[in-house]
Amino acid sequence: MASTPSFPISIHRIGVFALSNAPEAQALTRGATALSRAFGGVTVDTDECVCTPGPRRFAGSDQDRAGGFNRLVSEEYDGELLVAARGGYGVTRVLEELDFEALRRSGKALCGYSDTSALLLAAWRFGCTRLIHGPMVCSSWAREPSSPGFSEETSAFLELVTTGRWSLECGGMEILKPGVGQGAVIPTNLTLLTALLGTRFLPDLTGTILVLEDVNEPAHAIDRRLAQLRSAGILGRLAGLVFGHFTDAEDAQELPEVFRDYAQYVPGPVVSGFPLGHDHPSRPLPLGAIAVLHG
């Protein structure tokens, strides 16, 4: 069990943002209610979420989505935690319009995964802390409390936010390359990470422990993106690499071989089977927190 100095934080108000596709109204209401209940009945604001799909099913225009997020990170909004409504597509279109300096000054915590991974990576690049690869309102909190992994995810998220405790260890992981590596943990979506290559929003990943996940991507596409990380010199600079969930992958039986192929390019340990991504339960992880990976 590890801890990070960015947490714990006291939560009195939570803001929900929609930078990707439009959330479904009922799921948004159901998820916001569950999120509020988890934190003892705190106010959860969904005013910045447009549920009527705009162009290409986005939650409003690029300007509207960016503006809603910027209002939540401004001094005028007093929520301590900002949670993504859902993923999909759209975050990379608006990164240029987001006020990362205001987010950094505010010290507000930011949570999401999938498409929101691009936002988290960019925020870390610009010095923001309290960044969580974790549950979103419509895709996680709106699930039935009796659904697989719901209680486990809820407990892990609350423990991270309210005590600062979290873990990069779990049973059942496969060691692909032995060793010990220490560095900042960077959990993220493989597709969104490669989408930031060559942009000013990609952080320096030298010496980090990269934790990767993805969804609906065939094995050959995952192979291609890992090859891109190798060619960009990223794999060769890592302190360690962890493969999480690769959900609904076409030709998934090929993935173990793909992972073994690229493990050789990482100086530190490489493991697979960590519970992070689009399957449940998915363990919340803080971006940038220091951990030791044993392979």
Q: What are the respective helix, strand and coil percentages of the chain, to the nearest 5?
A: 35, 20, 40
Which amino acid makes up residue 273? G
Quote the percentage of the chain above a pLDDT of 70.
Answer: 98
Structural domain boundaries enclosing 161: 2-165
Query: Which of these, 117, 131, 76, 147, lies nearest to 244 by C-alpha position?
Result: 117
Banded model confidence at residue 1, pLDDT cuts 50, 70, 90:
low
SS3 94: helix
pLDDT at 288 over 90: yes
Half-sphere CA count of 258, side-chain side, radius 13 A: 19
As a whole number of angstroms, the distance between CA 176 and CA 149 comes to 26
Q: How distant is the alpha carbon of residue 286 from its chain centre?
A: 9
User: Where among 106, 139, 165 does a domain terminate?
Assistant: 165
* 179 and 197 co-located in one domain: yes
Quickly tell me which residue has 């803080």 as its tokens: 286
DSSP one-letter code for 276: -
User: Where among 118, 147, 165 does a domain terminate?
Assistant: 165
As a whole number of angstroms, the distance between CA 46 and CA 268 comes to 42
* 83 and 208 co-located in one domain: no
**Per-residue pLDDT at 272:** 98
* 205 and 67 co-located in one domain: no
As a whole number of angstroms, the distance between CA 294 and CA 225 comes to 25
Whether the CA torsion 155, 158, 159, 160 is positive or negative: it is positive
pTM of the predicted protein model: 0.96
**Per-residue pLDDT at 100:** 98
**Per-residue pLDDT at 54:** 83
pLDDT at 47 over 70: yes
Based on the structure, what is the number of domains in the chain? 2
pLDDT at 4 over 90: no
**Per-residue pLDDT at 228:** 98
Banded model confidence at residue 2, pLDDT cuts 50, 70, 90:
low
pLDDT at 68 over 70: yes
* 122 and 262 co-located in one domain: no
pLDDT in tens, 83-135: 999 999 999 999 999 999 999 999 999 999 999 999 999 999 999 999 999 99
Mean predicted confidence (pLDDT) in 230-242 = 98
The average confidence (pLDDT) of the chain is 96
* 276 and 252 co-located in one domain: yes
* 157 and 242 co-located in one domain: no
Q: What is the CATH number of the domain that holds 100?
A: 3.40.50.10740
Query: Which of these, 143, 154, 145, lies nearest to 27 by C-alpha position?
Result: 143
